[in-house]
């Protein structure tokens, strides 16, 4: 029995079903899985894996996936027999525990395409994480539903590469035929979230829905904006706008009728989190939230968000309800504005550029940014450039052209304007005299986009990237708008530009697309 001042939680039963937040927090504390911070959030550590383990991720190769999955080093195949054996081992391990946890949740705020998911976890804090991040039905089912998926999370069960046919002592395996996900050997809870994201990314294109790695918010006139980007580019920060209403911070679907959030919570990066710059996120981190790998002051228990001694990828998971300014039904109208957030460490991209539909397809497929405090285990704390297809290559099982074609279709149908927004460096490259754009500057750019101001200004074209850039943006110094003019040595800018353009061209060689999309990219002439 775990005693509390207000409630008694019984954990004598082996399987604890549909426990509320309070019970899960108390059990996690009683079992030593974490501690409360001064703001009352549950603080946990994930051990050696402080991010996802892409080398340990597999998809069962069978008649459903054989010709539909883009098999590569990200989408690694594993046999149904291997999965069956591992599943039974992990399930026996879980059921041998004194207590484990089960909840019936949902992913996808769509009336007909939402996916019910049964979550089974070894740890109470992992269950709290799932409870926070997934959608919580008003009346959760306690029996298996048609089309229900099952997540089995057993971080304490380690795999054996030699006998289990995997790559290490951890594995993340997606099985589309039996609608199940096995996650074992890793304490990083984000694997659950991203595994279900990958599931919807495979399923939804069959229903003419574009799944997206993006945040979304809406204004008072229901004008929806989408924010694409990898971790560290500003999706969560910029979508949590005090002047607008949050739909979601990371995963959405876009169909003919509008967009919908996949999740019921948010998963914000915490490194250098500031109450002044990010008040909505700061205030959302409270009792019922989970903080991963954030160091606490030993005396005051106040989180030190500047401390990256455990990882740059510090995180906070909190329910959407903790954001007061949100769209209640978790859905939105077709977007007016689409923002591709890129963190350019070369300092040669403009703070904002207007894209044609063909350029949008090019930059969507390219997915250029910098890895800043990577979400992947083993990447370290350095910063380096990357090209991640669809701004989220690790999560999209189908061939890239499937998602690019759907993007073009949705843009054509909605008439949404796409902008490339650089949240990275200006005036020089990272580590070579450049400065990163401030959050207030980027917020001013975003405000001008979502308010329609950038549709009213004059544009000019910058060579090389062949991008249209505004000559003025309300609230932004005009000297920042043309990247070449921010460098003290133009020859150095030209050299860095050639370097990045060459990388774009080389990366894009792997795509088979129409000439009109291929020619929409940057050129060296």
Give the ranges where 147-222 is alpha helix by DSSP (H): 161-164, 190-203
**Is the sign of the CA dihedral 230, 231, 234, 240 positive or negative?**
positive
In this structure, the strands spanning 417-422 and 435-436 are unpaired
Q: Tell me the CA distances in angstroms from 72 to 13, 17, 83, 375, 442, one per residue in order.
A: 43, 38, 19, 20, 35
CA gap 450, 229 in Å, rounded: 17
Task: Note if 31 is an active site residue.
Answer: no
CA gap 125, 379 in Å, rounded: 25
Task: Note if 401 is an active site residue.
Answer: no
Residues 6+ apart with CB under 8 A from 139: none
Task: Note if 52 is an active site residue.
Answer: yes
Neighbour-count burial of 220, counting CB atoms closer than 10 A to its CB (0-12 exposed, 13-18 middle, 19+ buried):
exposed
Half-sphere exposure of 494 (CA within 13 A, CB side): 6
| Given 49, 131, 213, 410, the catalytic residue | 213
- What are phi and psi for residue 328, nearest 5 degrees? -60, -40
330-367: buried (b, 16+ CB within 10 Å) or exposed (e) per residue?
A: bbbebbbbbbbbbbbbbbbbbbbbbbbbbbbbbbbbbb
Task: Note if 331 is an active site residue.
Answer: no
| Nearest alpha-carbon partner for 412 in 366, 357, 340 | 357
| Given 250, 252, 344, 486, the catalytic residue | 250
Task: Note if 236 is an active site residue.
Answer: yes
Task: Note if 235 is an active site residue.
Answer: yes
| Given 118, 126, 235, 354, the catalytic residue | 235
| Given 154, 231, 374, 496, the catalytic residue | 231
Task: Note if 244 is an active site residue.
Answer: no
| Given 46, 49, 50, 52, the catalytic residue | 52
| Given 110, 118, 126, 194, the catalytic residue | 194
Task: Please provide the size of the chain in residues.
Answer: 525
| Given 236, 374, 414, 497, the catalytic residue | 236
CA gap 224, 358 in Å, rounded: 22
| Given 180, 315, 326, 410, the catalytic residue | 315
Task: Note if 194 is an active site residue.
Answer: yes
CA gap 478, 490 in Å, rounded: 18
Structure tokens that stand for 261 in this block: 């959030």
Residues 6+ apart with CB under 8 A from 299: none
Active site residues: 52, 194, 213, 231, 235-236, 250, 315
């Amino acid at each position: 029995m775990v005693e509390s001042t207000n409630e008694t939680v019984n954990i004598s039963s082996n399987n604890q079903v549909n426990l509320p937040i309070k019970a899960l927090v108390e059990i996690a504390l009683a079992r030593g899985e974490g501690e409360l911070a001064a703001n009352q959030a549950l603080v946990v550590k994930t051990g050696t894996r402080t991010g996802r383990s892409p080398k340990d991720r597999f998809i069962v190769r069978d008649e459903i996936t054989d010709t539909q999955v883009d098999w590569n080093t990200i989408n690694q195949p594993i046999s149904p027999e291997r999965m069956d054996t591992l599943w039974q081992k992990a399930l026996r391990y879980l059921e041998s525990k004194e207590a484990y946890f089960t909840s019936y949740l949902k992913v996808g705020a769509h009336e007909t395409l939402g996916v019910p998911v049964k979550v089974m976890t070894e740890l109470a804090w992992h269950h709290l994480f799932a409870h926070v991040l997934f959608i919580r039905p008003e009346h959760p089912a306690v029996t298996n539903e048609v089309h229900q998926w099952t997540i089995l999370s057993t971080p304490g069960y380690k795999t054996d590469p030699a006998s289990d046919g995997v790559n290490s002592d951890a594995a993340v395996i997606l099985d589309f035929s039996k609608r199940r996900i096995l996650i074992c050997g890793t304490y990083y809870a984000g694997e659950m979230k991203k595994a279900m994201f990958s599931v919807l990314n495979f399923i939804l294109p069959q229903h003419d829905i574009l799944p997206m790695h993006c945040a979304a918010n809406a204004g008072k006139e229901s004008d929806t904006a989408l924010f694409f980007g990898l971790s560290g580019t500003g999706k969560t920060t910029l979508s949590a706008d005090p002047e607008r209403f949050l739909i979601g911070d990371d995963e959405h679907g876009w169909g003919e009728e509008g967009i919908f959030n996949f999740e019921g919570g948010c998963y914000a990066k915490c490194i250098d989190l500031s109450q002044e710059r990010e008040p909505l996120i700061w205030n959302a981190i409270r009792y019922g939230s989970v903080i991963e790998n954030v160091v606490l002051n030993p005396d005051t228990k106040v989180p030190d968000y500047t401390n990256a001694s455990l990882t740059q990828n510090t995180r906070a998971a909190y329910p959407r309800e903790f954001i007061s300014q949100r769209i209640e039904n978790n859905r939105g109208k077709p977007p007016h504005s689409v923002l591709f957030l890129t963190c350019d460490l070369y300092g040669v991209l403009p703070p904002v550029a207007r894209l044609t539909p063909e350029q949008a397809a090019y930059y969507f497929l390219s997915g250029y940014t910098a890895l800043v405090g990577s979400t992947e285990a083993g990447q370290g704390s350095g910063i380096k450039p990357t090209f991640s297809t669809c701004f989220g290559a690790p999560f999209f099982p189908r061939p890239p052209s499937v998602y690019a074609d759907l993007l073009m279709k949705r843009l054509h149908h909605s008439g949404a304007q796409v902008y490339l927004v650089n949240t990275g460096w200006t005036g020089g490259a990272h580590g070579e005299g450049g400065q990163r754009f401030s959050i207030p500057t980027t917020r001013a750019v975003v405000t001008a986009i979502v308010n329609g101001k950038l549709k009213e200004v004059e544009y000019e074209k910058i060579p090389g990237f062949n991008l249209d850039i505004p000559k003025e943006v309300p609230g932004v110094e005009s000297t920042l708008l043309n990247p070449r003019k921010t460098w003290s040595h133009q020859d150095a800018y030209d050299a860095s530009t050639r370097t990045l353009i060459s990388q774009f061209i080389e990366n894009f060689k792997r795509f088979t697309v129409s000439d009109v999309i291929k020619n929409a990219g940057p050129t060296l002439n």
